[in-house]
Structure 1
Amino acid sequence: MKRTFFLVFVLFWSLLLSVGVQAQGEAFAPIRNAIRGSSSHELAEYFAPTVELSFDGDKQSYSSTQAEFVMKDFFAKNSPASFDFIHYGGSNEGTPYAVGKYAGKNGTYRMFVKMKSVSGALKIGTIDFSKE
């Protein structure tokens, strides 16, 4: 009896955790589609008013408009051959993030996207590209 209860309990929590990860993945779906389509304009719709962009450790903060042009330039120089998020997570404070693999014409990058809450909505606060 105790073993059955334990198995049901573990199964229940596993199901809840998988639903949470799937929900995070769905939250990042439009961002993934914008990156796959190398659309800086679509991506910018999800930018916070200030966005931190980092390319191989060169980190700078931009307004959402400036960040759109920086991403447009990046996509022009490194159009994606493939892109997908490979891991979703959240900080202890509940801030969602995703790690992806971006294969462009000039190499492969590990991409980190972290959201932040802006007026009750989740917006992109950080994008970090690290060449592999």
Structure 2
Amino acid sequence: MIRPLLPALILFTQLIYTLAFQGDIVEHLSTLFKSANSKEISKNFAPSVEITVNDTEDVYPKGQAEQILRDFFTKNSPTGSAVVHLINTNPNYRFGVLALATKSGKFRVAITLKKSANAFFITELRIEPDK
């Protein structure tokens, strides 16, 4: 009797875990920004990402986007990060704003994520000095 229910239970558990993780993706990214982990952040990039750092804006492939983020962290070593704003009401879209404190100043980080193949990917990343 229990054997037929086991695969369904495993599938249900995986679904709940995926939904729970995806709900916390902006908080997870905030932690990665605080630790300046460009490699882990880039795992969440879409194949092409629109990146704005200060006044420079362009669309970059995933690998080049990681390099730009790494360069930003080299120049601005993070000391803290907090989620300031979060939109997670749409099942296919997430938006978050982080307050990023660095040794060289404070920045506002806006992250736009879109769902593709049951996962959220960063399609736009804006890093601007906090006003």
Shift of 1:38: 0.3
Query: What is the distance in 1 between the residues matched to 2:25 and 2:87?
Result: 12
Contact 1:24 1:96 in 2 (8 A): no
TM-score by length of 1: 0.74
The DSSP-based 3-state class of the residue aligned with 1:29 is helix
Partner of 1:101: 99
The DSSP-based 3-state class of the residue aligned with 2:40 is helix
TM-score by length of 2: 0.75
Query: What is the distance in 2 between the residues matched to 1:103 and 1:95?
Result: 26
Which residue of the other structure, out of 61, 74, 77, is the alignment partner of 1:76?
74
Query: What is the distance in 1 between the residues matched to 2:89 and 2:51?
Result: 19
The DSSP-based 3-state class of the residue aligned with 2:24 is helix
Shift of 1:58: 2.2
Gaps of 5+ in 1: 1-21
Task: State the one-letter code of the partner of 1:105.
Answer: K
Runs of 4+ in 1 over 4 A off after TM superposition: 22-25, 90-94
Partner of 2:128: 130
Which residue of the other structure, out of 105, 113, 117, is the alignment partner of 2:115?
117
Matches within 5 A, 1:46-57: 46-57=44-55
The number of residues matched between the two structures is 111
Query: What is the distance in 1 between the residues matched to 2:47 and 2:85?
Result: 25
Deviation readout 1:108-127 (Å, 9 max, x if unpaired): 11110000123332101111
Query: What is the distance in 2 between the residues matched to 1:23 and 1:42?
Result: 15
Task: State the one-letter code of the partner of 2:42.
Answer: A
Structural RMSD (CA): 2.2
Query: What is the distance in 2 between the residues matched to 1:42 and 1:23?
Result: 15
Gaps of 5+ in 2: 1-19
